[in-house]
Structure 1
Amino acid sequence: MLPEKELMLIYLRYFPGLFALITVIIGLLNWSKLPNYKSKLSLFTIGLTLLIEVLGPLFSLWTGLLNYYIFNIYIFILFQLYFYILVKILKNYRVKVLGSIFMVVYTTVFILNLIFQFETLGHDIYSGLYSLGVLLFIILSTFYFIELFNSSNVLNYKKNIFFWFVIGVLLFHVPFLPFMLSLEWFLIEYSSSIYWIVLFILNLIMNSCFIIGFLWTEKKYNY
Structure 2
Amino acid sequence: MGELLSDPRNLAVFIQLLSAIFSLIYYDKYKKVPVLKLFPFLLWYILFNEVLGFCIRQYISDHNAIIYNVYYGINFTYLLILYRRYLTNKKSKHLVLGFLILYLLAYVLEGFFKNYIKEFQTTAYIIASLCLIITIILYFVEILNSNKILAIKKNLLFWISVGLLIYYAGYTPYRIIRNIYTELDKSSAIIAVMITLTVIMNTCYIIGFIWSQKKEQY
Common fold: TM-score over 0.5 = yes
| 1:83 and 2:64 correspond | no
- Following TM superposition, by how much is the alpha carbon of 1:195 offset from its aligned partner in structure 2, in angstroms? 3.0
CA contact (8 A) 1:131 1:177 kept: yes
C-alpha distance in structure 2 between counterparts of 1:42 and 1:89, whole Å = 14
Is 1:175 paired with 2:175?
A: no
For the 8 Å contact 1:172–1:202, the answer to whether it is kept is yes
What is residue 3 of structure 1 aligned with on the other side? none
Determine helix, strand or coil for the equivalent of 2:7. Answer: helix
Q: Pairwise CA RMSD of aligned residues?
A: 2.3
Q: Percent identity?
A: 29
Unaligned runs of 5+ in 2: none
Pairing of 1:3-152 with structure 2 (within 5 A) = 10-34=6-30, 35-60=32-57, 63-117=60-114, 119=115, 121-152=116-147
Worse-superposed segment, 180-189 or 74-83: 180-189
> How big is the shift at 1:54?
1.5
For 2:97, what is the secondary structure of its paired residue?
A: helix
Which whole-Å CA distance do the structure 2 matches of 1:54 and 1:190 have between them? 19
Greater Cα offset, 20-29 or 34-43: 34-43
CA distance in 1 between counterparts of 2:54 and 2:7 reads 14
The one of 183, 186, 199 equivalent to 2:181 is 186
Alpha-carbon distance between aligned partners in 2 of 1:88 and 1:45, rounded to the nearest angstrom: 17
**Among 198, 202, 208, the residue aligned to 2:193:** 198
- The answer to whether the 8 A contact 1:26-1:214 is kept is yes
Deviates more, 1:45-54 or 1:151-160: 45-54
Decide which moves more: 122-131 or 140-149. 122-131
| Cα distance change on mapping 1:188 and 1:69 into 2, 3 Å | closer
User: Which structure carries more relative contact order (alpha carbon 8 Å, separation 6+)?
Assistant: 1
C-alpha separation between the residues in 2 aligned to 1:169 and 1:103? Answer: 17
Post-superposition CA distance 1:13-64 (Å, at most 9, x none)? 2211111110111111111111323222232322221111122123345652
Q: What TM-score do the two structures reach when normalised by structure 2?
A: 0.89
Q: How many residues align?
A: 215
TM-score, normalised by the number of residues in structure 1:
0.87
| Secondary structure in 2 matching 1:86 | helix
